[in-house]
């Protein structure tokens, strides 16, 4: 077997592989002999077909099979011989197997991208700042306040209702004087300004007081989900029974119970909230550190990227984008992926993927089984039946691989952090979580 390598571009290689005639002939006759032992042909007892007849009949298909097979095996050994590590599966240029004639040598060409050579830079001089956060009572207090705002207690008031109030009422809707199904309710509670009803329903209600009655006319939006109502004008007869005003709930046992705390009242709730905050914080710091560290890593290691991988990744991302899964592509804290920055992002992904793979291989990092199962249970706990989901992850090869790669990424991060200089940076909870920005919005 002779192999010629041609450098097409920085990483692109074109191999011409020639398989000698003897190798082919030998393989073909071996196959024919094997076939002769079991072939069934009319006019012959099984296995008694002479090789000559077999040859006459099966030479062509067997030869083609042999060639297809040899292309596989010779490609592997050719790559090994030349010490080429392909970045993706090599692309075999089409050959016409039909044209091959017995006793000739067979040659074909493949195109591939070589894996770039990566020199791992020393990380010991690199410094990262690791946020150190202490969750203060004030932070917990802020969270509790927000929970209070979002879960107000309703107090009946004797005045005309206004925005943010809750109105208890009956309504009865009709179109052209006829009642329509689903257009009637009694004792219905509507929070004004919540947008829970069709547009134009809430506005006329504002200003009504307890005991008031009123007919309002509302047009259903054209794209309303119930076809027979869409775009129609309906009249609702409204009777207001009660006007309620939101009030901040007391931070007491009843409040705690709203959030599923059965015993221990406020102290237990606080503990629960703190636990949640810590978990969120940990995840947030992890993703932030990952972003910072990996960006730094990419800056330190510049190398050519295999074109084939770039093309593949771009196509993948574009497909996801078209499916409307843009969010799954988004890196936390950055703008959404669009057609404009797609290629740049694909570039980064391939770059990072190769780097991480290199570190994993060079440093012999193995996925930690404990961390994998920990991660699986963590992910599963969000679902209704965590055990089933976890079991599925453990059994399904592909799903487990996915988790494994996530864990490996984390382990690479750990390794980098253990190499690099880490300075602790005292940070507040708010800063890490970016709560201040949110409040402004």
Partner 1 sequence: MNKERLMNVLLSPSVTEKSSRVGDMGQVVFKVIKDASKPEIKKAVELLFNVEVDAVRVSNVKSKAKRFGQVQGRRQGWKKAYVSLKEGHDISFANADK
For the bound state, the minimum distance from the C-beta of residue 62 to partner 1, rounded and expressed in Å, comes to 15
- 45 is an interface residue for partner 1 by CB under 8 A: yes
- 38 is an interface residue for partner 1 by CB under 8 A: no
For the bound state, the minimum distance from the C-beta of residue 22 to partner 1, rounded and expressed in Å, comes to 23
**Stretch in the footprint of partner 1 (CB under 8 A) among 4-12, 39-47, 173-181, 422-430:** 39-47
Ramachandran quadrant class, 434 (left: phi over 0; alpha: psi -120 to 50; beta: rest):
left
First to last CA, the chain: 68
Cβ proximity to partner 1, 50 vs 434, nearer residue: 50
Beta strand 213-219 with 233-247 is: antiparallel
Contact by Cβ (8 Å): 66, 59: no
Q: Which residue stretches of 160-301 are H helix?
A: 253-258, 265-300
- 83 is an interface residue for partner 1 by CB under 8 A: no
Residues 6+ apart with CB under 8 A from 45: none
Q: Which of 53, 206, 379, 420 binds partner 1 (CB under 8 A)?
A: 53
For the bound state, the minimum distance from the C-beta of residue 44 to partner 1, rounded and expressed in Å, comes to 5
Nearest residue to 201 via CA among 169, 179, 225, 156: 169
**Stretch in the footprint of partner 1 (CB under 8 A) among 43-51, 200-208, 408-416, 420-428:** 43-51
Spell 258-273 as b/e; 16+ CB within 10 A means b: eeebeeebeeebbeeb
Distance (Å, whole) CA 17 – CA 23: 13
**Stretch in the footprint of partner 1 (CB under 8 A) among 45-53, 101-109, 115-123, 313-321:** 45-53
Q: Which of 41, 76, 93, 439 binds partner 1 (CB under 8 A)?
A: 41
Supply the DSSP symbol for 157: -
- 56 is an interface residue for partner 1 by CB under 8 A: yes
Residues 271-310, one symbol each (x = binds partner 1 by CB under 8 A, - = not), give ----------------------------------------
Q: Report the interface residues with partner 1, using CB under 8 A.
A: 41, 43-45, 48-50, 52-53, 56
């Amino acid at each position: 077997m002779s192999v010629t390598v041609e450098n097409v571009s920085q990483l692109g290689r074109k191999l011409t592989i020639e398989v000698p005639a003897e190798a082919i002939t030998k393989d073909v006759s071996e196959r024919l002999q094997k076939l002769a032992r079991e072939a069934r042909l009319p006019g012959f007892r099984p296995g008694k077909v002479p090789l000559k007849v077999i040859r006459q009949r099966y030479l062509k298909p067997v030869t083609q099979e042999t060639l297809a097979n040899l292309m596989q095996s010779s490609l592997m050994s050719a790559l090994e011989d030349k010490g080429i590590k392909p970045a993706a599966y090599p692309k075999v240029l089409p050959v016409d197997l039909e044209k091959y004639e017995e006793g000739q040598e067979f040659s074909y060409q493949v195109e591939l991208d070589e894996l770039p050579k990566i020199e791992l830079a020393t990380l010991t001089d690199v410094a990262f700042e690791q946020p150190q956060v202490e969750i203060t009572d004030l932070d917990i207090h802020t969270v509790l306040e927000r929970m209070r705002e979002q879960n107000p207690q309703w107090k009946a008031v004797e005045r005309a209702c206004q925005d943010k109030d809750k109105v208890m009422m009956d309504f009865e809707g009709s179109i052209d004087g006829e009642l329509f199904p689903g257009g009637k309710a009694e004792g219905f509670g509507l929070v004004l300004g919540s947008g829970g009803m069709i547009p134009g329903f809430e506005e006329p209600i504002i200003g009504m007081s307890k005991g008031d009655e009123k007919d309002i006319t509302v047009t259903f939006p054209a794209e309303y989900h119930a076809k027979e109502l869409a775009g129609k004008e309906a009249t609702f007869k409204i009777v207001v029974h009660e006007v309620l005003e939101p009030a901040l709930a007391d931070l007491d046992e009843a409040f705690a119970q709203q959030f599923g705390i059965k015993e221990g009242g406020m102290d237990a709730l606080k503990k629960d909230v703190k636990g949640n905050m810590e978990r969120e914080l940990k995840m947030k710091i992890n993703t932030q550190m990952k972003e910072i560290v990996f960006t730094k890593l990419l800056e330190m290691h510049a190398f050519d990227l295999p074109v084939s991988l770039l093309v593949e990744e771009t196509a993948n991302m574009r497909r996801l984008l078209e499916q409307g899964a843009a969010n799954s592509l988004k890196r936390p804290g950055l703008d959404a992926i669009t057609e404009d920055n797609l290629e740049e992002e694909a570039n980064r992904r391939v770059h990072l993927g190769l780097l991480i793979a290199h570190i994993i291989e060079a440093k012999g990092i193995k996925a930690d089984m404990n961390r994998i199962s920990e991660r699986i249970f963590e992910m599963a706990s969000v679902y209704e039946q965590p055990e089933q989901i976890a079991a599925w992850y453990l059994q399904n090869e592909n799903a487990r691989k996915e988790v494994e790669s996530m864990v490996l990424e984390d382990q690479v991060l750990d390794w980098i952090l253990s190499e690099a200089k880490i300075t602790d940076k005292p940070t507040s909870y708010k800063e890490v979580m970016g709560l201040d920005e949110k409040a402004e919005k």
